[in-house]
Chain A
Amino acid sequence: MSEQENRAAGRVAVLVDHLDGAVRPTALELLTLARGLGLEVHAVWVGYSAPSAELAAHGADAVHEVAVDGADAQLTASVVDALQTVLPAIGDVGLLLVPSTFEGREVAARLAVRTGAGVVTGASGVAFEDGRWTAHKSVLAGAWDTACAVTGPLAVVAVAPHAVQAVAQDGAAEPSVVRHTAEASAAARAVTVVSRTRRPTSERPPLAEAEVVVVGGRGVEGDFSGVEELADVLGGAVGATRVATDEGWIGHEAQVGQTGVTISPRLYVGLGVSGAVHHKGGMAASATVVAVNSDPDAPIFEFADYGIVGDLTEVLPALTAELRRRRG
């Protein structure tokens, strides 16, 4: 970009998602994406003790820690209060990246109402084009690709997981760390957190963030053990279709689809999955799709990169064994 364009594009801020003091992997993807834009990158961390070296290695030129005074810091309204304090302090922010999670999108919505920003959700990429921040995304269960330009004063782009791969850079300069305090708004103070209990975590990577997801559908006929075994060999997460969760074969938290978890892994493996539009809408952003199903007419074969029409009880154990054998 020319210097003039750089001035028009402004600075980039990234809302860093974290849990128990650790950066969420998707946040490192957002920083990597921001770094590639060639502009000043400011990481926003709600709370204290940000791992500034790690944030800098992925692209942050400056780290902003924000304490929220007067309300629970995890509430959507509190995070918006934090951003409303930090963004003007950074000055000239043209683009804010947030994760395209429910929480991230809710933050984007409230911030847009407060500031007049334009919001694009589920973005796979972002660029400064024709003098405007423009986000690229696929819509209608992956059938269409669109570009959406932001005409407001600030672009808030909610980025889908795995839009880019997180890459650390060597020799990043020590970032400046600035501390802020935000006063909680009435909207944040109005909500009381009665209790917050951590959900049990599995040994496997979280479904929404996993690079590999193995999904079981109706065709597994109630037995997810083979799905889990393959997921473990590939170091991936286990997902399921709505049928499988409704039948109680696996917990609801594994449901992939428009209303369950939206995934965008580098590799999707569908086992006995028909590929109905509900499910497709939640996995259409997968980079590579492999499907095994005994029904040659299953819709998943219309969009799978590699399909096997075959008996799952034969193919699945052979696949797991062959992968193990080659890995020695």
Chain B
Amino acid sequence: MRVVVCVKHVPDIQQPRSLRSDGLLVRGGDDDTLNELDEDAVEAGLRTAEAAGFPAEGHDVTVLTVGPSAAVESLRRGLAMGASTAVHVHDDAVAGSDAIATARVLAAAVAKLHAEQPVDVLVAGMAALDGLTSLVPAALAELLGWPQLTLADRIEVADGVVSVRRETSTDVEELTAPTPAVLSVTDQAFRARFPNFKGIMAARKKPVTTWTLADLDLAESAVGPAGSATRVVHAVERPERPDRVLVTGDAETVPALVDYLSQKGFA
């Protein structure tokens, strides 16, 4: 079985984050890290492959990212967790791509991997904690022409069919589709394993393939600002709210709070 997991290197959300004057997120800080929700995707990918016999001859779990040179750290993390190979699409022209343009780059990389050795399942996280758009998995499915099974919390692959369980806001669904399929997973069911020392050492020896746009036959005009149909035209740090109230006390503070709620129309 071949599983590919898309991961993203993002600024640490516990640290202050900011936007550049052109509205793009400031990246490349020392604290940048593997998007937390992609750890669940790596875990789901590993478990799905392990159920088929990974790690063994003929099975593969590839972690794939597109991003600046530092993004290799997120690939190393995926390798330390147990992935067997890694692919880093690194090309300065990609900087400033919106989510759909980013998906275009990832899809081209997946198509190249698929041509080399067929992919059964492509797994992504439910969102990247920097942009929080959740657009990429569905865009990948459309670009690749593969069925989408998103927000899965259970995955089974057998005889060329993927079965997932998922919860929507209103229903619990069980869906199936033929492989290859695009999956995304929630953060509920695939609590990520912690890389052990052996895994971390092994990750240093595992191969990381680097591709540019040329390797993917993608024109520069298809990515970056030129290939994006959206553009940030204005970005400003939100000012402090001026009229905030902070009081200290117990039950005696309640009438004033209820007055406040009443002014706002809630009481």
Q: Count the A residues whose beta carbon is within 8 Å of the partner chain — how many?
A: 87
CB of A76, distance to nearest CB on chain B (Å): 6
Q: A296-B248, A308-B249 are in contact. Are A194 and B175 (CB under 8 A)?
A: yes
Candidates A142, A192, A258, A306; contact of B245 at CB < 8 Å: A306
How far apart are the CA atoms of A194 and B172 in the complex, in Å?
11
How many of chain B's residues have a CB under 8 angstroms from any CB in A?
81
The tally of CB-CB contacts under 8 A between chains A and B is 255
Best-surrounded residue of B25, B139, B167, B251 (most CB of chain A within 10 A): B251
Q: Contacts A146-B235, A191-B148, A319-B258; is A110 near B229 (CB within 8 Å)?
A: no
A326 CA to B147 CA in the complex, in Å? 55
Which residues does chain B contribute within 8 Å of A101, judged by CB atoms? 169
Q: Check if A315 sits within 8 Å of B250, measured CB to CB.
A: yes
Which residues does chain A contribute within 8 Å of B18, judged by CB atoms?
140, 143-144
Q: Which of A1-9, A27-35, A88-96, A119-127 contacts B (4 or more CB under 8 A)?
A: A119-127
List, in ascending order, chain B residues with CB within 8 A of A105's CB.
133-135, 138
Residue A178 is within 8 A (CB to CB) of chain B in the complex: no
Which one of B25, B142, B231, B264 contacts A148 once the chains associate, using CB atoms below 8 Å? B231
For A117, the chain B residues whose CB sits under 8 A away are 229
Cβ–Cβ < 8 Å partners of A110 in chain B: 138-139, 141-142
A323–B149 contact, CB under 8 A? no
Which A-chain residue is minimally distant from B235 (CB atoms)?
Answer: A146
Q: What's the least CB distance linking A254 to chain B, in Å? A: 13
A258 to B236, CA, bound (A): 21
Assess whether B29 is interfacial by the CB under 8 Å rule: no
Given A191-B176, A192-B175: A148 in contact with B266 (beta carbons within 8 A): no
Contact B129 A258 (CB under 8 A): yes
Q: Is B46 an interface residue (CB 8 A)?
A: no
Question: Which of A150, A259, A305, A322 lies in contact with B241, CB distance below 8 A?
Answer: A305
A144 and B229 contact, CB distance less than 8 A: no
B178 within 8 A of A: yes
A134 at the interface (CB under 8 A from B): yes
In the assembled complex, the Cα of A197 lies from the Cα of B237 at a distance in Å of 44
**Given A102-B151, A198-B170, also A259-B232 (CB < 8 A):** no
Q: B134: nearest residue on chain A (CB-CB)?
A: A105
Find chain A residues with CB under 8 A from B99 CB: 109, 119
User: Distance in Å from the Cβ of B138 to the closest Cβ of chain A?
Assistant: 4
Q: In whole angstroms, what is the CA distance A192 to B175 when docked? A: 6
Q: Which of A94-143 contact B (CB under 8 A)?
A: 101-103, 105-110, 112-114, 116-122, 130, 134, 138-143
Contact of A187 among B103, B132, B148, B231 (CB under 8 A): B148
- Contact between chains at B138 and A106 (CB < 8 Å): yes
**Chain B residue nearest in CB terms to A121:** B133
For residue A72, which residue of chain B has the nearest CB?
B175
CA distance A152 to B101 in the complex (A): 12
- The docked-state distance in angstroms from the alpha carbon of A55 to that of B139 is 30
Which A residues are CB-close (under 8 A) to B246?
A: 301, 304, 306-309
Chain A, Cβ-Cβ closest to B143: A113
A147 at the interface (CB under 8 A from B): yes
B209 in contact (CB, < 8 A): no
| Most chain B CB neighbours (cut-off 10 Å) among A80, A107, A303, A319 | A319
Of B138, B251, B253, B267, most buried by chain A (CB within 10 Å of CB) is: B138
Q: A192-B175, A199-B172 are in contact. Are A112 and B100 (CB under 8 A)?
A: yes
| Candidates A103, A259, A305; contact of B126 at CB < 8 Å | A259
Contact A194 B238 (CB under 8 A): no
C-alpha gap A317/B254 in the complex (Å)? 10
Against A, the Cβ 8 Å flags (1 = close, 0 = not) of B255-267 are: 1011011101011
- Complex Cα gap A194–B149 (Å): 13
Is residue B50 within 8 Å, beta carbon to beta carbon, of the partner chain? no
A174 at the B interface (CB under 8 A): no
Across the interface, A150 reaches (CB within 8 A) one of B138, B229, B250, B258, namely B229
Contacts of A141 in B (CB 8 A): 13
> Which chain B positions have C-beta within 8 A of A208?
169
Residue of A nearest to B129 (CB): A258
A248 to chain B, nearest CB (A): 13
Are B138 and A326 neighbours in the complex by a CB distance under 8 Å?
no
List 11 contacting pairs A-B, 8 Å CB cutoff, sorted by A. Answer: A76-B138, A109-B137, A122-B133, A140-B19, A144-B18, A258-B127, A267-B264, A277-B13, A290-B261, A306-B260, A326-B258
List residues of A whose CB falls within 8 A of some B CB: 19, 76-77, 80, 101-103, 105-110, 112-114, 116-122, 130, 134, 138-152, 186-187, 190-199, 206, 208, 212, 234, 252-253, 258-259, 266-267, 277-278, 281, 288, 290, 296, 301, 303-311, 314-315, 317-319, 322-323, 326-327
6 nearest A-B residue pairs (beta carbon): A152-B229, A118-B229, A314-B250, A106-B138, A318-B251, A147-B234
Given A146-B236, A258-B129, 10 more A-B residue pairs with CB atoms under 8 Å apart are A110-B141, A112-B229, A122-B132, A142-B238, A197-B173, A198-B171, A234-B267, A281-B13, A306-B257, A307-B245
